[in-house]
Structure 1
C-alpha cells in the first residue's frame, strides 16, 4: 500500500531529552497525524516529534500524515497494523470515524495512544492513553479571560460576543467550544453569545466568517476563536471594516496572536507548546510499551496568556 506524505525515520543517536532513562528494547512506533500542512502548530509538532524520536536510539518511527482525510487516516492505521508496529499514535481527523480503526489495532494487540485531540468516548476502551491538552479546560479559561476583561471595562452586564469554532466533528473543536459555552454563563451570566460559526482552523475562512458577522451584527464586543490563527483572521476582518474596540480571545497562542497582542490589538489566549505536545505523545507511547502506569488522560498544562502577562512567555515558534 502506498501512503502519501509518509516519512520513515530510523533513529540512532542519543536519548530522548524528556524520556529519562532509555527503554531497554527497540520499539517501532507509528504515528498518523491529522493534517500537517493546515497550520504551523501541526507542522512544528511533526518536526518536534521527529527530533524527539531521532534523539532516542531505542525508537524507530513511521511518521504519516492523513492530510485531513479520514479515509486516508483509516488506511494508514491499516498499514501500521500490517507492519506490526509496537504502538500507534493517532492524531484523529475525526473523533467518531476513526474508532473502528482504533478498535482493530487494539484487537491486534497494538496499544494506541491518542495525541492532541481525543477520539469520541465510545472508543476510549480501545485506547491505552490520551496525551495532550485538556481542551475543555482551555475553552473554560478562554471564557474567564474574556469575562475578566469585560468586567475591567465595565461591560460585563451587556456585552455581546460571537464565536468562531474549529473544524466540525473534530474533538478539539467540540471540547473547546463546550468549555467556553459552559463556563461563560457561570462567570459572566449577562454576556450574550449571539452566534457560533466554524472557521475550520483556517485564517482566511475565519476572516470571511467574521466579515459576515460584522454585516449581521452592529454590536459585537468580543470574539472567541478556537485558536489564534482563526482569531487573527477575525481581527483582520474587523480592522478592514474599521470596527474598533472588539476584544479578541483565542485558545492556542500562535506567533501571529502573540504579535497582535504585542500591538495591543488582540487581548488573550491559551499558551500551548506543540513541542511539549509531540514529546509528551512519544514519551507516553514509550512508557506504555515499558509497562509503566500511565494515566488514561495524560494532560500537560496550558496556562492563560494576555497582554498583561505575556512578557512571562516566549513567542511561539509556530
Structure 2
C-alpha cells in the first residue's frame, strides 16, 4: 500500500489519506487525534496507526490531528461526517466538549470508536466502542506500586505524597487520578497526599510544578505523575535540588522513564504500548464494520513495571 494523496480538509488542517487499490468493499475510516506533537507516545501511535492501515488492503484511512484544540477537533469530526467515511475514530481533546460532534456522527449512521481516552459518560450512547487502556486500573496499580515501595522502606505509616496530574478536563487524567486517589488510602491508609497540581502531560511544566512543591514542602517521600514524561520532569527537579530518597511512580512507561528506572532514580510505572493502542483502535473499527459484536469497553492489558521486574519488558520505543 502507498500514500495516495495529501488533501486539505475543510478545517484548514492537513489530512493524510492512506490506501491501497480502492474497491467497492474498501472501508474508509477517519481518525481525529488529540495532539500528535505533544509527546512521543502520540507520535508513535500515529506512525503505528498508519502502518497498520497500509498493511490492510481493505482499508483506507483519513488521518487528522486536532493539535490539542477542541474547536479544531469538532470541525474535523464534522468534515469526516461530510466525507461520509464508514467509521470515525476519535482521540478526544476533551471528553465533555466533543460529545455533540460524536452525537452528529451517530445520527449520521457513522459508528464512532473512541481511542485511548474515553469521552464523558453522557456521550456513551453515541459511541459504538471504546478501545484503549483502563485508566482507572492504571491509577489503582500505580497506587499499589507506591504503597508496596513504602512498605519495603518501612515508611508506610508516615510517608507524604505529592501528585502531578495530566491535562485538566482530559478523561485519561481524570481517571488515572481517581484510580490513584481512591486506591492509595485503601492500601496505605496512613500515607498522606499533601498536594495535587496539573502538569498538562508536559515535562517542563511538571518540573516547574515539582520545583514549587520542593520549596513548599520539606518532607516529600513520593511523587505520583499521570505519565512518565511528567514524572521524569519531577524527578529532574528533585535531582537538581539535591532532594534524595523520593519514590517516583508514573504511568505509560516512556523510554525516559524506563531509562531512569534502569539508572535507579525512578521506581515504577505502568507499561503501555502506543503501537498496541493504535492497532487495537483500527482493529476495533474494522471489526465493527464487519458486523462483529464487540463489548463497549475494549481494554488491552497494562501491567505494573518497576526496577524489580523491568527486565521482563523491552524498552519502549517512544
Q: TM-score per shorter chain, which class?
A: over 0.9
User: Is the contact made by 2:11 and 2:79 (CA closer than 8 Å) also made in structure 1?
Assistant: no
2:100 aligned with 1:100, yes or no? yes
Matched residue, 1:8: 17
Deviation, structure 1 residue 280: 0.2
Deviation, structure 1 residue 4: 1.6
TM-score (norm 2): 0.96
**Counterparts of residues 23-172 of structure 1 (less than 5 Å):** 25-172=25-172
Cα separation, 2, equivalents of 1:180 and 1:262: 24
TM-score (norm 1): 0.96
Deviation, structure 1 residue 6: 1.8
Deviation, structure 1 residue 5: 3.6
Deviation, structure 1 residue 11: 3.2
Deviations 1:244-284 (A, max 9, x none): 00000001100000000000000000000000000000000
Structure 1: which 4+ aligned runs deviate by more than 2 Å? none
Matched residue, 2:249: 249
User: Is the contact made by 1:12 and 1:56 (CA closer than 8 Å) also made in structure 2?
Assistant: no
2:271 aligned with 1:271, yes or no? yes
The DSSP-based 3-state class of the residue aligned with 2:36 is coil
Cα separation, 2, equivalents of 1:24 and 1:173: 41
Cα separation, 2, equivalents of 1:3 and 1:311: 46
Deviation, structure 1 residue 7: 1.4
Which ranges in structure 2 are unaligned for 5 or more consecutive residues?
A: 1-9
**Counterparts of residues 183-198 of structure 1 (less than 5 Å):** 183-198=183-198
Cα separation, 1, equivalents of 2:239 and 2:14: 37
The DSSP-based 3-state class of the residue aligned with 2:155 is coil
Which ranges in structure 1 are unaligned for 5 or more consecutive residues?
A: 14-22
The DSSP-based 3-state class of the residue aligned with 1:37 is helix
The DSSP-based 3-state class of the residue aligned with 1:6 is strand
Matched residue, 2:4: none
Matched residue, 1:236: 236
